[in-house]
Chain A
Amino acid sequence: MESMGTLTPSTLSRTDLPWQLAWSREKCTLCGQCTAVCPVRAIELGVHRKRVVQVGLGLAEKPGNVFSVYHGIRQKTEPAFACIGCGMCDLVCPNGAIRPVRGGEPDKLRFHNNAGGVPRRRGGRRNDPRSLLDEIKFIRISMLTDPALDAGRHDFELRTLLGRILPPEALVRAVQDNGWIPPVREIYPLIIGSMSFGALSPNMWEGLQMGVAYLNEEMGMPVRICTGEGGCPPRLLRSRFLKYVILQIASGYFGWDEIIHALPEMKEDPCAIEIKYGQGAKPGDGGLLMWYKVNRLIAAIRGVPPGVSLPSPPTHQTKYSIEESVAKMTQSMAMAWGFRVPVYPKISATSTTLAVLNNLTRNPYASGLAMDGEDGGTGAAYNVSMNTMGHPIASNIRDAYLNLVKVGKQNEIPLFAGGGIGKNGNLAANAAALIMLGASGVQIGKYIMQAAAGCLGSETDRCNICNIGLCPKGITSQDPRLYRRLDPEQVAQRVVDTYLSFDTELKKIVAPLGRSTSLPIGMSDALGIADATAAERLRISHVL
């Protein structure tokens, strides 16, 4: 028996890996591009020895062996270099000689990617492609008694409100008495959710910002983008484009030194302040920017030394109760901008959402609530957090909305839903379903990365290496060699394309429902689902 070399418990074969590289010797030109592009160095030069048995005619010559060598690639099998299925090799191969193929059975890698006792960390999203939102249908079609509207020709008013809205009686009093009316923003109901400068590459951030500015200034669509926890580039803080930006503050307070210092020089107020208490991808866990991505630029904006991991605490360290959080953070943030800017918290969707919401209803400065469901994405988190922690968004938003209806405040505190919207590409349908369940708008992250920049991640564990700064598309990398692959102008173009097509699809949903003059928030009579349990839970129609 030949030696097999060292066999360790974590020695895996290609079959044990989630992705196997299918390579064609005939097509390969040995250009080496796949090897160069592979973000995890799963491919190495392979020098293969081959034996050919040669048998001559007749008996005069004895059969012999000819040993030859050919060159090609070899897939590494060490867990640290396991193929992630990103497919960049396929993208760059001039002859289509190589591509990753998913293994036929559950991989064995999952039992071994915790070397050194460190559990697997990754970026991306929950590895579960199922979506309840995709099952919701729009059933109340206007027919004859109330003709359906024309999505292409009628006027549509599809904006939503972000900000605390006074009850009508209080508003009338405030108008009469010249009292304080909380700031309210009229915005497009599809918000680019919080992805930090740091989590995203500079080119990606610039592309998103340019796209948002174009949508606002050229297309008349009041689209807003949230910074995430990582501060905001100083020039943007001092530009007129700040009004399209929601500044996020989270438990690490990264970047807020810069923001506070820029306050006197701001030409415009930001759209709003989002106080992050949690996120859907890793609820109850703080933010995380791993050291790979903390270069000098990121470090400068965040006010930290370069090259260190930046974990935000799971909670705001000075706050031990919701009352404190609301009183201290919401009110002081509101005060910092002279009560001209809406301030609202963002939480992970949770079975305790209503406790948070009920407290917010009692504070006049709380301007809304963003809820991020279990299908939310992240740049870095523990695999276990992503896959198993969190609450689905559909029932959480429904419960929150119906709770507001119960206390008559459904128009006073807008709810924003995030987490898994458009995870299978059905962005407008998912957004409309959540709006009709009670959301005032939705936040997206992964979808815009996929649509605007070609993110390769999936709910079946493809790529998902946002955390280590090796994003092969340059979306979540801070390495200029990678992020220069991404042209900000083209990202901006795709952002605009995405929003325009979303707008058309949203109209194609609401027009047949006979809705055009206001966003159909809470129009639950339009919704149906074949799953009787889900219908009962969401209080929508059960249809078969």
Chain B
Amino acid sequence: MCRLFAVTSREPLSPMTAVHALNVMKEGHDGSGMGLFLTDLGGSFERFRGSPILSGIFSNEGLRALDRYLMDLDFTVKYKLSIRPAQIPPAGTPKRDNYVVRAYDYPPDWLALPQEEREHRLMLTRLRLRQMGEADGSMLIFSFWPDVIMIKEVGDPMELAGYLGLDHEELQARVILAQGRQNTNYAINIYACHPFFIQGYATMTNGENTAFVPIREFLTSRNYAGYTGYQSDSEVFTHILHYTQKGLGLGLDLYKHIITPLKDGELGHHPNGTKLKQIKQACRPLIIDGPNCVIGCLPDKTIFMVHDSKKLRPGIAGGSPGMFALSSEVCGLDAAIPARNKSTDIQPMKYDTVMIPPGRDEVIRWNQWER
């Protein structure tokens, strides 16, 4: 089973905070992989907040191809983080040539573009690079977006953190999403590793998504270039979130109503029942059905947690003003924020969405009956 941990803090944190939390939840995951999503960055990257940051793994040849491609597009490297792994990788971790985290300057002709168009081009560039590397595995691209760093690798999270030197002082973020374990239902594939990312939206999931195939078919038939991949059945959660917000212009409350709508009978007495029923019908193929706990981050740096409609996967939210965390297990939360008032911890139930807005003042909980 996967274990998830997300933390949001006014002060930048090292990703080691999240890695430690994953480590104490180790009994619940098999240590076969780790994915990290860092945003609202601190450290050196804070200075380049508007610049797109490319995160990925490259062979030497892949790195050359990357440089050629981005230079042709007129991107210029502004800053790069040097990740120098130890000589011998941990058991099960492949030896890679380059872990890349680089901030770029936009091509000059992009600067005049509307933000929407620029963001679309960034996504297309990421997808193109991914495609270029897919044939020979020379490039693995996780994100190409301002103020976002992603690191993914196969292996035990704690060992990986040591191997990759994730305690690097440059690597700091105010929002961190971390997931332990690869998706073991399918062949090990780094693209199946959570969190998944698209245009500022990131989510990670604990559990299976039994409605995966119809959801994937629906998303891919939206004719939107970004809805691709799906090496893991959990990637659709990220894309549904993106579709809900960017495609339909709906809020996070509707995300919960779309993936786990109330039953028809329940909608009959919901104050907003008519509209919700229509949305349920129109978005019927996006209804999830698995045992799932979804933790995600919105472009405005709000982090949130929702469950499947039967709450078949655990999750807890807690912390104190300035620093909150969402965790699969309470021990992960304890490890990250031991000095908190535990009586205010929230274990969201099947109708709940919990979120921590970027102010980090409180955990906000609402349930589907309220909105």
Q: A residues near B, CB below 8 A?
A: 140, 142, 145-147, 149, 154-155, 157, 159, 161, 165-169, 171-172, 175, 181, 184, 186, 220, 405-408, 410-411, 513-518, 520-525
Question: Quick check: B282 and A167 within 8 Å, CB to CB?
Answer: yes
Question: Quick check: B289 and A525 within 8 Å, CB to CB?
Answer: no
Instruction: Tell me the complex Cα distance, A407–B220, Å.
Output: 10
Closest 10 CB pairs of A and B: A146-B208, A514-B210, A408-B221, A171-B282, A518-B287, A522-B214, A525-B213, A168-B282, A405-B217, A515-B289
State the majority secondary structure of interface residues on B: loop
Q: Pick out which of these stretches binds chain A: B50-58, B133-141, B243-251, B356-364.
A: B243-251
Question: Quick check: B214 and A172 within 8 Å, CB to CB?
Answer: no
CB-defined A-B contacts under 8 Å, sample of 28: A145-B185, A146-B210, A146-B290, A155-B310, A159-B264, A167-B282, A168-B279, A171-B278, A171-B281, A171-B282, A172-B248, A220-B265, A405-B217, A410-B217, A410-B221, A411-B218, A411-B285, A514-B289, A514-B291, A515-B210, A515-B289, A517-B211, A518-B287, A520-B211, A520-B289, A521-B214, A522-B214, A525-B213
Instruction: Tell me the complex Cα distance, A312–B223, Å.
Output: 44
Q: Cβ of B96 < 8 Å from any Cβ of A? A: no
Question: Quick check: A523 and B211 within 8 Å, CB to CB?
Answer: yes
Question: Quick check: A516 and B208 within 8 Å, CB to CB?
Answer: no
Q: CB < 8 Å: which of A157, A169, A181, A220 contacts B278?
A: A181
For the complex formed, measure the closest distance between the CB of B334 and the CB atoms of chain A, giving whole angstroms.
26
Give the residues in chain A near B288, CB-CB below 8 Å: 517
Q: Cβ of B132 < 8 Å from any Cβ of A? A: no
Closest to A401 in B: B217
For the complex formed, measure the closest distance between the CB of B215 and the CB atoms of chain A, giving whole angstroms.
10
Question: Quick check: A520 and B214 within 8 Å, CB to CB?
Answer: yes
Closest to A406 in B: B221
Question: Quick check: A161 and B284 within 8 Å, CB to CB?
Answer: yes
Instruction: Tell me the complex Cα distance, A161–B1, Å.
Output: 35
For the complex formed, measure the closest distance between the CB of B331 and the CB atoms of chain A, giving whole angstroms.
22
Question: Quick check: A514 and B264 within 8 Å, CB to CB?
Answer: no
Instruction: Tell me the complex Cα distance, A272–B159, Å.
Output: 62
User: Which residues in window 300-350 of B have CB below 8 A to A?
Assistant: 308-310, 312
For B211, B214, B264, B265, which residue has the most chain A Cβ atoms within 10 angstroms? B214
Give the residues in chain B near A518, CB-CB below 8 Å: 211, 284, 287, 289
Interface size on B, residues (CB 8 A): 41
For the complex formed, measure the closest distance between the CB of B313 and the CB atoms of chain A, giving whole angstroms.
9
Give the residues in chain B near A145, CB-CB below 8 Å: 1, 185, 207-208
Closest to B213 in A: A525
For the complex formed, measure the closest distance between the CB of A207 and the CB atoms of chain B, giving whole angstroms.
28
Question: Quick check: A410 and B248 within 8 Å, CB to CB?
Answer: no
Instruction: Tell me the complex Cα distance, A410–B285, Å.
Output: 9
Question: Quick check: A184 and B275 within 8 Å, CB to CB?
Answer: no
Question: Quick check: B310 and A408 within 8 Å, CB to CB?
Answer: no
Closest to B249 in A: A172
Give the residues in chain B near A154, CB-CB below 8 Å: 310
Q: CB < 8 Å: which of B214, B279, B285, B290 contacts A171?
A: B279
Question: Quick check: B263 and A155 within 8 Å, CB to CB?
Answer: yes
Give the residues in chain A near B1, CB-CB below 8 Å: 145
Instruction: Tell me the complex Cα distance, A520–B285, Å.
Output: 9
Give the residues in chain B near A169, CB-CB below 8 Å: 247-248
Contact status of A513 and B221, CB under 8 A, knowing A145-B185, A518-B284? no
Give the residues in chain B near A168, CB-CB below 8 Å: 243, 247-248, 279, 282-283
Q: CB < 8 Å: which of A167, A514, A523 contacts B208?
A: A514
Give the residues in chain B near A405, CB-CB below 8 Å: 217, 221
Q: Cβ of B260 < 8 Å from any Cβ of A? A: yes
Q: CB < 8 Å: which of B249, B282, B291 contacts A166?
A: B282
For the complex formed, measure the closest distance between the CB of A397 and the CB atoms of chain B, giving whole angstroms.
15
Instruction: Tell me the complex Cα distance, A408–B282, Å.
Output: 12
Closest to B250 in A: A172
Give the residues in chain A near B275, CB-CB below 8 Å: 175
Q: Cβ of B212 < 8 Å from any Cβ of A? A: yes
Give the residues in chain B near A513, CB-CB below 8 Å: 210
Q: Cβ of B222 < 8 Å from any Cβ of A? A: yes
For B211, B249, B309, which residue has the most chain A Cβ atoms within 10 angstroms? B211
Instruction: Tell me the complex Cα distance, A279–B278, Å.
Output: 32
Instruction: Tell me the complex Cα distance, A407–B263, Å.
Output: 29
For the complex formed, measure the closest distance between the CB of B122 and the CB atoms of chain A, giving whole angstroms.
23
Instruction: Tell me the complex Cα distance, A154–B210, Å.
Output: 16
For the complex formed, measure the closest distance between the CB of B356 and the CB atoms of chain A, giving whole angstroms.
27
Question: Quick check: B211 and A165 within 8 Å, CB to CB?
Answer: no
Apart from A147-B312, A168-B247, A408-B221, what are 10 other A-B pairs with CB-CB below 8 Å? A142-B208, A168-B279, A168-B282, A169-B247, A220-B265, A514-B208, A517-B287, A518-B287, A522-B217, A522-B285
Give the residues in chain A near B308, CB-CB below 8 Å: 517
Contact status of A517 and B221, CB under 8 A, knowing A169-B248, A181-B278? no
Instruction: Tell me the complex Cα distance, A175–B275, Å.
Output: 7
Give the residues in chain A near B214, CB-CB below 8 Å: 410, 520-523
Instruction: Tell me the complex Cα distance, A415–B210, Å.
Output: 22
Mark B191-228 against chain A: 1 for CB-CB distance below 8 A, else 0: 00000000000000001101111100110011100000
Instruction: Tell me the complex Cα distance, A524–B249, Å.
Output: 31
For the complex formed, measure the closest distance between the CB of A363 and the CB atoms of chain B, giving whole angstroms.
18
Instruction: Tell me the complex Cα distance, A171–B247, Å.
Output: 12
Instruction: Tell me the complex Cα distance, A165–B282, Å.
Output: 6
For the complex formed, measure the closest distance between the CB of B308 and the CB atoms of chain A, giving whole angstroms.
8
Instruction: Tell me the complex Cα distance, A172–B212, Å.
Output: 24
For the complex formed, measure the closest distance between the CB of B273 and the CB atoms of chain A, giving whole angstroms.
13
Give the residues in chain A near B207, CB-CB below 8 Å: 145-146
Mark B218-260 against chain A: 1 for CB-CB distance below 8 A, else 0: 1001110000000000000000000100011110000000001
Instruction: Tell me the complex Cα distance, A154–B22, Å.
Output: 32
Question: Quick check: B248 and A184 within 8 Å, CB to CB?
Answer: no
Question: Quick check: A524 and B260 within 8 Å, CB to CB?
Answer: no
For the complex formed, measure the closest distance between the CB of B163 and the CB atoms of chain A, giving whole angstroms.
28
Instruction: Tell me the complex Cα distance, A515–B287, Å.
Output: 10
Instruction: Tell me the complex Cα distance, A167–B222, Å.
Output: 10
Closest to B310 in A: A154
Question: Quick check: A161 and B281 within 8 Å, CB to CB?
Answer: yes
Question: Quick check: A515 and B284 within 8 Å, CB to CB?
Answer: no
